[in-house]
Amino acid sequence: MSRKVFEALAEENHESIDFHYDNSTGLKALVAIHDTSLGIASGGTRVYNYESIEDALADALRLSKAMTYKNAAAGIDLGGGKAVIIGAPEDLTPQLFREYGRRLQMYKGKFSTGEDVGMSEERLKEVEKTTGNIITKDTSYETALGVVRGIEACIERLHGEPSLKEKTIAIRGYGNVGRKLARLLDEEGAKIIAVSDSQGGTVDWDGLNIEGLEKYKKEKSTVSGFQGSISNRKLLGLEVDIFSPCAVGGAINKETVSKLKCDIVAGASNNQLESPKLAKELKERHLLYAPDFVINAGGAIAAYGEIEGLKENEVLEKVSKIRKRMKRVIRNAETENISTVEASYRIAKNTLTKAREGGSSIAVA
């Protein structure tokens, strides 16, 4: 195991990985710091019942790297980090989260964290009782807004203008971000054909009633049963303009990639592609993919705004620039005949290189 850990760290040039265990509370956590060239490491804390420590390690390393590139691509002075707590969220005690907070003190302000999958506002408040550098703001609106702006850039490339009116969309994942995304898209005139959560999905080719769906979800704790029924697997293969993955990552893998029948893949979830190699396959199939760490950076920008004390209008202005950044990614990908993922990485790597050399750390829009 120890050799594998060091190999994993070396593979993506991570700065550190720390394992935290507490017998009295049952805390089992990992904190991964990928890169601090731009500033303190920032990334949420995920609470998930991983099948193995290896799975938890892989997720922490992958997500922390994604945060480095997300922050670099967004043009904000934050590094990349991520933490994971192993266990079913509903089984973990307030004492465990307070102990986790005490463990975070060892980073002396060099790691800032906040909500993620399984880390609710209530649990985060327990963490905050014993540590600082906690992002308490709900960043789901900013995340959703950034995704909308990224989608607009993709639509403009394919249709000549960024209008969402009558564009058909299937959303996989209806949590805090997915729900706000559906609402924003609906307000822009898009037609939300299908939405799903962990229990199943709902579909209506005339367009779902989003207001009614929100009420149903609040009452039933699921979207399944709202209108026509559809599975998560079938939702992914719907013939729509846009497929938007907003649940846990890995929705697009070697089995599902061939089932996509959309023109654009653009969503809020992290690590949407099981492997970066799938970006090339999407390109070959002429599907326009909006790299997750580019268009879902609204939450990271909001977190940066809280750290720096920015006003709400300043934060929203920065989030709206995601559209401009996504247009640059598309332009570079086409000019260099590479995937949008590779184009995004090159832009972010250039930003990181300049920071390491002592130059400007802000990505050029």
User: Which residues are bridge partners to 45 per DSSP?
Assistant: 83
Q: Report pLDDT digits (tens) over 117-132.
A: 899 889 999 999 999 8
- Same-domain check for residues 170 and 101: no
pLDDT at 1: 56
| 84 and 182 inside one domain | no
- Does residue 203 share a domain with residue 106? no
Statement: residue 255 has pLDDT above 50: yes
**Mean pLDDT, to the nearest integer, of 281-303?**
95
Q: How confident is the model at residue 365 (pLDDT cuts 50, 70, 90)?
A: very low
* pLDDT of amino acid 78: 96
Give the DSSP per-residue string, 60-83: HHHHHHHHHHHHHHHT-S-EEEEE
Domain boundary among 107, 128, 149: 128
Report yes or no on 293 lying in a domain.
yes
Asked if 160 and 226 sit in the same domain, the reply is yes
Helix (H, G, I), strand (E, B) or coil at 208: coil
Query: Total structural domains in the chain?
Result: 2
Q: Of 28, 65, 82, 167, which one is the catalytic site residue?
A: 82
pLDDT at 77 over 90: yes
The larger pLDDT score, comparing residue 5 to residue 343, is at 343
Q: Helix crossing, 140-159 with 312-320: angle to 10°?
A: 30
The answer to whether residue 338 scores a pLDDT higher than 60 is yes
Is 82 among the catalytic positions? Answer: yes
Query: Is the per-residue pLDDT at 60 higher than 80?
Result: yes
Does 38 lie in the same domain as 110? yes
From 95, 128, 161, give the residue that closes a domain. 128
Determine what percent of the chain is predicted with pLDDT higher than 90. 86
Residues 6+ apart with CB under 8 A from 348: 68, 69, 72, 73, 293, 363
pLDDT recorded at residue 129:
97
Token digits of residue 267: 């969503």
Last residue of a domain, one of 105, 128, 151: 128
Residue 365 in any domain: the answer is no
Give the range of the structural domain holding residue 272, as residue numbers without chain letter.
Answer: 140-351
Q: How far apart are CA 180 and CA 177, in angstroms?
A: 5
* Cβ-contact 20, 103 below 8 angstroms: yes
Quick one: how many helices (H) and strands (E) in the chain? 14, 13
Over residues 234-252, the pLDDT tens digits come to: 999 999 999 999 998 889 9
Res 163 pLDDT > 80: yes
| CA atoms of 150 and 320, how far apart (whole Å) | 9
Are residues 189 and 318 part of one domain?
Answer: yes
pLDDT for the residue 2: 59
